[in-house]
Amino acid sequence: MSNTSNTAKTQNARTAHESDESEEARASTDERPSPMQVLRHARTQLAELTGMAPESVSSFEQTEDGWILEVEVLEIARVPDTMSLLASYRVELDPEGELTGYRRVRRYERGRADPHRPGGR
């Protein structure tokens, strides 16, 4: 009977260990922020640094080094609103979603469309 008892204990220990490993795998996956969490946190961080409220995210890409976003920001409010100045900021984040750098890549009036540019940029 002790063999049967030891076999059952070994199987239970193995099952518990496998369960712990799968929970650890889920936990490490859960530690990475979701794309929506990254977007929200990036907007908050950019607003804190620039003092300007982001209006939208026009580009979002996960890279080997983290994330790259293009965020549209209201720089100068004017009346009428179509004359307000907006800017696009390229925002770089590490894999955890913490801002590592940003720069303004263009500035434009709200009501103005971009002229066609070769290469899409």
The DSSP string of 2-33 is: HHHHHHHHHHHHHHHHHHHHHHHHHHHHHHSP
Q: Please write the tens of the pLDDT for every residue from 55-107.
A: 999 999 999 999 999 999 999 999 999 999 999 999 999 999 999 999 999 99
The tokens 């990475």 sit on which residue? 32
The tokens 């990036």 sit on which residue? 42
DSSP 3-state of 1: coil
| More reliable by pLDDT, 42 or 30 | 42
Looking at residue 82, the DSSP 8-state letter turns out to be: G
pLDDT at 16: 53
The 10 Å Cβ neighbour count of residue 83 is 13
Residues 19-26, mean pLDDT to the nearest whole number: 48
pLDDT at 70: 98
pLDDT at 3: 54
What is the pLDDT of the chain when averaged over all its residues? 82
